[in-house]
């Protein structure tokens, strides 16, 4: 029988007794990373340090200090909240101040299978 994971974010499907599940481990990890990136610290009950809070980055100016702080928050948040499940291989932040955008590229692998994956998030 295949391993099943809760979908992130957790959602109810159909009646209240049915919870959305997935058997795709890669999607499960990707969803967990996105949940960590977009959850603000203090948003989760009993886990005040959980999350990176990328939404607040939308209102910050794009400069070297902001990019360094963003890099630190992302790396610390992923290490803290994913623990030994995922290893971040590389994190690239590419600013485009003329367009008011920041692109975040995360190269990672699941420790269980060592298969490399990538994720791109644009703010």
CATH of the domain at 25: 3.10.450.40
CA–chain centroid gap for 7, Å, is: 14
Could you read off the pLDDT of 12-27 as tens digits, one per residue? 666 544 556 667 788 8
Report how far apart, in Å, the C-alpha atoms of 99 and of each of 30, 52, 95, 103 are.
27, 23, 9, 11
Q: What is the CA radius of gyration of the chain?
A: 16
Q: What domain range is 21 assigned to? A: 5-122
* pTM of the predicted model as reported, rounded to 2 decimal places: 0.81
Which is nearest to 25 in space by CA: 121, 120, 122, 114? 114
Could you read off the pLDDT of 32-80 as tens digits, one per residue? 999 999 999 988 888 899 999 998 887 777 888 989 999 999 999 999 9
Tally the domains of the chain: 1
Angular region, 88: left φ>0, alpha ψ -120 to 50, beta rest: beta
């Amino acid at each position: 029988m295949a391993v099943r994971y809760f979908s992130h974010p957790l959602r109810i499907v159909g009646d209240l007794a049915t919870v959305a599940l997935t058997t795709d481990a890669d999607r499960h990890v990707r969803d967990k990373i996105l949940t960590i990136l977009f959850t603000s610290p203090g948003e989760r009950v009993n886990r005040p340090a959980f999350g990176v809070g990328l939404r607040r980055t939308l209102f910050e100016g794009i400069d070297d200090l902001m990019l360094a702080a963003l890099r630190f928050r992302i790396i610390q948040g992923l290490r803290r909240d994913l623990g030994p499940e995922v290893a971040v291989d590389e994190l690239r932040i590419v600013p485009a101040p003329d367009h008011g955008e920041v692109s975040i590229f995360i190269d990672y692998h699941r420790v269980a299978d060592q298969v490399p994956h990538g994720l791109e998030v644009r703010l």
